[in-house]
Amino acid sequence: MRVRIRYEKGDEQRFLGHLEVRRALVMALARAGWPVAMTKGYTPRPKVEMVAPLPVGTAGLNEVADVYLSESRSLEDLGRSLGEAMPPGFKLKEVWRISPDESTLETRITASTYRVLVYGAEDAPLKRALECFLGKDEAKFHREAREQARETRESHDTREKNRQIDLKLFVRRIEVVTSAPPALRIVLRHFEGRTVRPAWVLEFLVKHCGLEGVDPRESVVDREWLDWGDGGSHGS
């Protein structure tokens, strides 16, 4: 049996990394008594597939993971037991059954919607920076080599090529939604599992669009929802 869960990685747990979130979920599943299937191989691991990992510092209001079970259970039981077992700062929002043959969700995600609280900027200069960004044909962003090397297993050449990303390809929408401090809503595309981070867009605005007084590391980023193919979209 394969089930998909939708959960919240809350504000106060935003600083957990992807692996820590996975560990927290696996331990919650154990406390909930879910009969989680194990992977085959020398060191079997619980079969839990995380989707579109969030970086350290980002909260997620509607995150998704797939869990494979070794035996069938009623969705009601599963939802209740895991709901009670979620650790502080996490909330289970939905559990539903999906076909075991369904292809992995990771490559089918089409977009992430973020809300980004920008400290240090007034509304007007922020809006001007956005106009500047939207007016550009391309927005080349250089990832830190160190960061990239850590995260990918690509060959040296591929890595060099991928270090330079055109943010414009990824940004589907960007707008100012609240003020004092202003918040941005940014919709970022995913291509076959590849996407960019809102903090990179902010960094670009600072470096190339005249946005002053902003330290991108100080932005507070929440992912509000994920969209994926077949019209599936979860979140409010």
Partner 1 sequence: MKRKASVRQLREHDEEIVSWKELRRHLNKVTKPARYTGGELNAVRKDPSSVSVRFALVFPDVYEVGMSHLGSQIIYHVLNSRDDTACERAYSPWPDMEELSRARGWPLFTLESRSPLNSFDIIGFSLAYELTYTNVLAALDLGGLPLFSTERDERDPLVIAGGPVSMAAEPLAEFIDAFALGDGEDLAGEIVDCYKKWRASRRPRLELLESLAGIEGVYVPSLYDVKHSDEGLLVEVRPKAGAPGRVRRRIFSDLEKAPYPERPVVPFLEPVHDRAMVEIFRGCTRGCRFCQAGTLYRPVRERKPETVSRIARKILAASGYDEVSLVSLSSADYLPIREVIEDVLTRSPCPARVSLPSLRVDSFSVELSKLLGGGLTLAPEAGSQRMRDVINKNVTEEDVMDAAKAAFSWGFTRIKLYFMIGLPGETDQDVLAIADLAYRIRQLGRDMGTKPTIAVSVSGFVPKSHTAFQWEPFVGRDEIERRQSLLAKHLRGPGLEFRYHDSRQTYLEAILSRGDRRLGRVVYHAYRRGARFDSWPDMLDLDLWLSCMKEASLEPGFYTRERGQDEILPWDHLDPGVTKGFLLLERARARRAEKTPDCREAPCPGCGVCPRFGVAPVLAGRDGTSKGAGDRAR
* Among the listed residues 39, 56, 124, 160, the single contact to partner 1 using CB under 8 A: 56
* Among the listed residues 3, 67, 82, 85, the single contact to partner 1 using CB under 8 A: 85
What is the phi/psi pair of residue 128, to 5°?
Answer: -65, -40
User: Cα(113)–Cα(227) distance, rounded to whole angstroms?
Assistant: 8
- Using the Cα atoms of residue 121, residue 122, residue 125 and residue 129 in order, give the sign of their dihedral: positive
Q: Are strands 90-98 and 164-166 parallel, antiparallel or unpaired?
A: unpaired
* Among the listed residues 5, 28, 130, 211, the single contact to partner 1 using CB under 8 A: 28
Q: Would you count residue 24 as binding partner 1 (CB under 8 A)?
A: yes
CB of 78 to partner 1, least distance (A): 15
CB of 192 to partner 1, least distance (A): 28
Cis peptide before 181 (omega within 30 of 0): yes
The answer to whether 22 and 50 have CB atoms below 8 angstroms apart is yes
Query: Which span sits near partner 1 by CB under 8 A: 84-92, 129-137, 170-178, 226-234?
Result: 84-92
153's CB contacts (< 8 A; 6+ apart) are none
Q: Would you count residue 84 as binding partner 1 (CB under 8 A)?
A: no
Q: Which is nearer to partner 1, 160 or 218 (CB)?
A: 218
Q: Which chain residues interact with partner 1 by CB under 8 A?
A: 11-17, 19-20, 23-24, 26-31, 33, 56-57, 85, 87-89, 119, 217-218, 220
